[in-house]
Structure 1
Amino acid sequence: MEETAEGTKLWCGAAAVMAWLGGWRGRKAAAAGLAAVAVAQLVSNGV
């Protein structure tokens, strides 16, 4: 499970569920979450 969480597959799956079931607020939250994951990966891989 730890490898899944670190590889962002878990977070992408959670975002997909939020976007699918959450209406416009879920889609907005999913987009913000995916953007945060992308920025975090860029920062952590750059350092």
Structure 2
Amino acid sequence: MKNCWKILEIEETTDVDIIRRAYLALLPSFHPETDPQGFKQLRQAYE
């Protein structure tokens, strides 16, 4: 798997709010029905 920070398109941080905002901003780009692999990677990066 690619680096989670690259997937979320943010710098390394421990700020949960920044991580959450990045995840929510990218979420519409990775719909589980049209891009299940991309959605899975985004979800894993968020977790």
| TM-score with structure 2 setting the length | 0.38
* Greater C-alpha radius of gyration: 1
| TM-score with structure 1 setting the length | 0.38
Report 1 or 2 for greater relative contact order, CA contacts < 8 Å, sequence distance ≥ 6: 2
